[in-house]
Amino acid sequence: STTSPNNSMHTKPLQLEDIPILNSENCKIKNRQHVEKIINEFIFGGHTRLQVVSDFDYTITKQRTSNGAPVPSSFGIFEECKSLPSNFVKAARELHDIYRPIEVDPHISNDEKAKAMIEWWTKSGENLMGFTFDLKEIDEIAKKYAYSVRDNTDELFRKLNELNIPVLVFSAGLGNCVNAMLRHAGLLYPNMNVISNFLQFKDDTMLNGFQKPIIHTFNKNEKLLKGTEYYDLVHTRDHIILMGDSLADSGMADGVPSSSHILKIGFLFHHAEEYIEQYMSTFDIVLIDDQTMNVPLALLKLITGNNTSRD
C-alpha cells in the first residue's frame, strides 16, 4: 500500500465520484475500484514518479474535427507531398488497400497481423528509394494540418514540460511528420522523445527507405527501448499514463518493470458500439468521441495538486 499514515492524516483518498470528468456520459470505466486505486497512488507518488507514453496518430491528433476538416495520419501527410513520383503514391495506396484491412480485422490473430505489418512497412520502405526528396515539403503540409491536434493538448504538454515529466511519443507512423506536426502545433518540448520511423537518406538528398529498426503496430512497446538513453531516463518513473486510440497501443509500456503502475486511457471513435467491450477490457479509461485532452489534463492537475478547475 502506498498510503502513509502521514499522508492520510491530511488527505482522504479520492473517490471516482469526486472527479466529475470521469463520471461523464462518454467516459467508460470497467473496473472503477482499480482506477480509483491507481489515481490515488499517482496522487500520493507525485509528479516526480510520473511519465507519459502516448501514441501520435488519432491520439494526439483528433479522430474527428468539429467542422469536418480532414485529419491525415503522419503517413498521409507525407503522401500529400507534391514532388513525390506518382508511381510511388500509387504503390503506397495499393499497399494501404491490401494491408489496412488486415491491421484492423478483429478475426485475425496478432501473430498473423504482426507478420503482415512487417511486410507492409518493409514494402513501404522499399518504395521509398531512387528519388530525391526535400524535407521542407513535409513542413509545409504539417503546418497546414497543425489544427488537427486535440483541444487542450497545448495546456497538457506545456504543464508536462514545466514539471519535467518525460513524454514518450511512440508512433508506428512517420516520425518526420510527427515531429513537424508537433513543432507547428507548438507542442515540441525538450521533455519529449519521439520514437518512430524516420526517413533515411543516401548522399544527402536521395531517399533510402526507413531508418532501422522498423516500428510497426505490433512491436511498438518499450522493449524496443532497452539499451537506449531513454530507457535509463524513465526507469525510475514507475507511474505511467498511457494514451492510445488503437487496441494495440495498450501494450506500448510493455517492457517497463513489472512493479510499475500503468493507467491506460483509450480514445474510441470508429465503431464505438462494436468495440466498447474490448476497449473497456483493454484500457482502464475509455473515452468515446472525446476530441480533447481534458481527461489526462484533469488527472495531471490532481497529481500535481494544481486543481483549480476540475474539468
User: What does the binding site for ligand MG7 look like in residue numbers (CB under 6 A)?
Assistant: 57, 73-76, 79, 92, 95-96, 100, 103, 120-121, 124, 171-173, 217
- How many residues bind Mg ion (CB under 5 A)? The answer is 5
113 φ/ψ angles, rounded to the nearest 5 degrees: -65, -45
When CB distances are held under 5 to 8 angstroms depending on the partner's kind, the choice from ligand MG7, Mg ion, none that residue 100 binds is ligand MG7
Shortest approach of Mg ion to residue 227 CB, angstroms?
Answer: 26
Residue 55 annotated to the active site: yes
Q: Tell me the per-residue interface mask from 35 to 74 with Mg ion, x by CB under 5 A, - otherwise.
A: --------------------x-xxx---------------
* Residue carrying the nine cell digits 499514515: 5
Q: How far apart are CA 177 and CA 171, in angstroms?
A: 10
C-alpha cell at 204: 544527402
Shortest approach of Mg ion to residue 46 CB, angstroms?
Answer: 29
When CB distances are held under 5 to 8 angstroms depending on the partner's kind, the choice from ligand MG7, Mg ion, none that residue 245 binds is Mg ion
Toward ligand MG7, which CB reaches closer, 40 or 197? 197
38 φ/ψ angles, rounded to the nearest 5 degrees: -65, -45
* Residue carrying the nine cell digits 469536418: 68
Instruction: Give exposure, 115-141, as e/b (b: 16+ Cβ within 10 Å).
Output: ebbeebbebbbebbeeeebeeebbbeb
* Closest residue to Mg ion using C-beta atoms: 57
Helix or strand holding residue 167 (H, E): strand 167-174
Please tell me whether residue 103 binds Mg ion under the rule CB under 5 A. Answer: no
Shortest approach of ligand MG7 to residue 237 CB, angstroms?
Answer: 25
Toward Mg ion, which CB reaches closer, 71 or 84? 71
User: Which residue type does 228 have?
Assistant: T
Near Mg ion in 240-269, by CB under 5 A: 245
Rg of the chain's alpha carbons, rounded to an integer? 20
Q: Report yes or no: 292 and 152 within 8 Å, Cβ to Cβ.
A: yes
Residue 284 annotated to the active site: no
Shortest approach of ligand MG7 to residue 73 CB, angstroms?
Answer: 5
Kindly list the catalytic residues: 55, 57
